[in-house]
Amino acid sequence: MRTGASYQGLWIFPVCLVAPEFDKSAGEFRTLEEGLRAGTLRVSETGDMGRVLVGNRNGARAVMLEGETLVGGAQNRMINAGAALAPGAETELPSSCVELHRWDCRTGEKDSIPDDKKYFQRSDIVFGSLKRLKLTGSLHSLHSDRRPAVDQQKVWKHIAGQFGVSGAATRTLDLHDLYEFWDAPLRIFSSRFTVARNQVGLISFLDRHTWFADLFLNNDLLFKNFRKLVRAYSFDALIRLEKEYRAPAGAPCLEDARGILKTLRTARLHPCETGPRGSAGNFFFSTARFAGSALLDAGLLVHMTACSL
């Protein structure tokens, strides 16, 4: 852990390797955003709101993170469990809708998905409070039916609530409209935080008791996702400012961040299969105080995310 930075109710502490030689497989994975932009990763509708089909046409392995969003298709989605895909592989991933008033499929028809609505074009990532709702919902569903599913009505209600606080105008109540509405202040937040040398993760606080953690396989993956994560957690800080939320006394410190890394080891694991059989391991984990998920590939931790409850 290294000394962090803060701005307007958001504290971020970098998690770094002790030496660069410990960095693993730099550049081995292509991100969802890179694949969609290059056309080497195809994400398409299945006709089911709760599933999307992902195909990797790249020469490198691709990684989709838990909590990433998909823009396009018949409606915008968030991914409920991450996966790592080998070149040429494809798989279905569990998803939830993050756009309340759009569903462009033709219900009851043989070819229900219009040609111009079959594929997703770009990606983003959910803000922290929605990630918390999603993780707790996934853990609950794993206990009941052994697959990560989230209560769709709760997701819609939570997103609609953020529109109520922010006053953002929207036609379809799409999560991404919130980011667009607050683009200018989110850019200011993001400019206050930079990637540290050998950084592979971050611990983000809204106060000493409300935190989010993200760890990556290497500096390359952290760097590619850093700005999206900072913007997502900045959104939560902005919502608090808008609500004039009074946080508990005392600012988060380096020892608080170190304590979180230590307590993550105490969690109970809940296995979950995503991706082609044998391609990756996905685990959800929890205690009474936090919940999270971890994506493994060939025995290596590709991404871990967690948050306080």
How do the domains of the chain map onto residue ranges? 5-308
User: Which residues pair with residue 283 across a beta bridge?
Assistant: 271, 294
Give the model's pLDDT for residue 278. 45
Residue 182 has pLDDT above 70, yes or no: yes
Give the Cα separation of 53 and 46 in Å (integer). Answer: 6
Residue 308 has pLDDT above 60, yes or no: yes
Residue 175 has pLDDT above 50, yes or no: yes
Which phi and psi angles does 161 have, rounded to 5°?
-65, -35
pLDDT (average), residues 126-133: 97
Could you tell me the pLDDT band of residue 17, with boundaries at 50, 70 and 90?
A: confident
DSSP state, 222? H
Helix (H, G, I), strand (E, B) or coil at 94: strand
Element (H, E) at 304: strand 300-308
For residue 120, give both structure tokens.
């997703």
Residue 39 has pLDDT above 70, yes or no: yes
Residue 252 has pLDDT above 70, yes or no: yes
Residue 99 has pLDDT above 70, yes or no: yes
For residue 185, give both structure tokens.
């202040």
pLDDT (average), residues 152-178: 93
Residue 88 has pLDDT above 60, yes or no: yes
Residue 131 has pLDDT above 90, yes or no: yes
For residue 114, give both structure tokens.
């219009």
Q: CA 281 → CA 69, 178, 271, distances in Å? A: 21, 33, 8
Give the model's pLDDT for residue 18. 78
pLDDT (average), residues 204-230: 96
Q: CA 178 → CA 136, 168, 212, distances in Å? A: 23, 6, 20
Q: CA 297 → CA 40, 210, 228, distances in Å? A: 20, 29, 23
Q: Which amino acid is at 243?
A: K
pLDDT (average), residues 122-141: 94
Give the model's pLDDT for residue 281. 76
Residue 275 has pLDDT above 60, yes or no: no
Could you tell me the pLDDT band of residue 289, with boundaries at 50, 70 and 90?
A: very high
Give the model's pLDDT for residue 107. 64
For residue 175, give both structure tokens.
């999560």
Give the model's pLDDT for residue 192. 97
Give the Cα separation of 191 and 265 in Å (integer). Answer: 32
pLDDT (average), residues 228-255: 92
Q: Are 166 and 181 in contact (CB under 8 A)?
A: yes
pLDDT (average), residues 30-36: 95
Give the Cα separation of 174 and 24 in Å (integer). Answer: 37
Residue 283 has pLDDT above 50, yes or no: yes
Q: Are 282 and 293 in contact (CB under 8 A)?
A: yes
Contacts of 36 (CB under 8 A, 6+ apart): 43, 120, 121, 122, 123
Residue 144 has pLDDT above 80, yes or no: no
Find the largest Cα–Cα distance for the chain: 59
Residue 95 has pLDDT above 80, yes or no: yes
Q: Is 216 exposed, middle or buried (0-12, 13-18, 19+ CB in 10 A)?
A: buried
pLDDT (average), residues 149-178: 93
Residue 105 has pLDDT above 70, yes or no: no
Cα–Cα nearest to 52, from 273, 275, 228, 225: 275
Share of the chain above pLDDT 90, in %: 70
Q: Is 125 exposed, middle or buried (0-12, 13-18, 19+ CB in 10 A)?
A: buried
Cα–Cα nearest to 47, from 77, 80, 74: 74
